[in-house]
Amino acid sequence: MRPFIEIPAADGTAEAIVARPDDDQAHPGVLLWMDAIGLRPRIEEMADRIASWGYVVLAPNTFYRLGSAAEMSPPAGMDLTDPEQRAAYGQQSFPRVAELTKERTEADVAPFVAALRGLPGVADGPIGTTGYCMGAKHATRAACVDPSIAACGGFHGAQVASDQPDSPHLSLGSARAAFVYGHADKDRSMPPESIELLDRTLTEHGLTATTAVYPDAPHGYTMTDTSSHQQAGEDRHWRELRELFDRVLGA
């Protein structure tokens, strides 16, 4: 992996990945929210893919309050393409997710966006965001906090809409973004009733949104370094995310 940069965050300093196009022009910025597995080579690959479309991408270690990116990622030698090892690591990482409360995530939005906008080559104007697993929830919260976020993607998102009082969908009245969500049809963290609630709320607030349930897709279908990867879902998510960003941000 490339060396991380360090950026200010609400409660300290966070490591982050930066990816950019291979030219000297100014490009729209994109804030990428990682999944619960951590800031690792797969996230760098995904940031590079988005950068190749004509965007400058920042992907922070959102677990920075708990440890470094290395400490919050799978140890060397762990093979998450093995279902048993993937399940074991999930049990290890799950408590960390609970530490990223609504208040903490929302507090990080302003410094993360400021760090993105402060990167060389980031154009003035609207920005985009996307997130995976828990990151879909965080991307949604970010779009509700910062109206300069004009495009928001969320894929195999966990609890983006729920009956909890801190559910992200409850803040959508503050959003100005266009949204695209790709749900996994075998995902217990976003069952059909939650997807319906999210869709209904987006419509009630007059937000432009495209949502789909990807067939035969497990939670984590974009993650090539895990046993949850599904090629069809990964490919579809890239098409739909790029269409959103190009349509709204116009790289």
CA distance 64 to 176: 28
CATH of the domain at 144: 3.40.50.1820
Res 91: pLDDT: 87
Distance between start and end Cα atoms, the chain: 26
Q: Max alpha carbon distance in the chain (Å)?
A: 48
The per-residue pLDDT string of the chain (251 residues; one tens digit each, 9 = 90 and over) reads: 999 999 999 999 999 999 999 998 999 999 999 999 999 999 999 999 999 999 999 999 999 999 999 999 999 899 999 999 999 998 888 899 999 999 999 999 999 999 999 999 999 999 999 999 999 999 999 999 999 999 999 999 999 999 999 999 999 999 999 999 999 998 999 999 999 999 999 999 999 999 999 999 999 999 999 999 999 999 999 999 999 999 999 87
Phi, psi (5° rounding) for residue 175?
Answer: -80, 150
CA distance 168 to 177: 14
Token readout for 17 is 């990945």
Q: How many domains does the chain have?
A: 1
Residues of the domain holding 174: 5-249
CA distance 237 to 233: 6
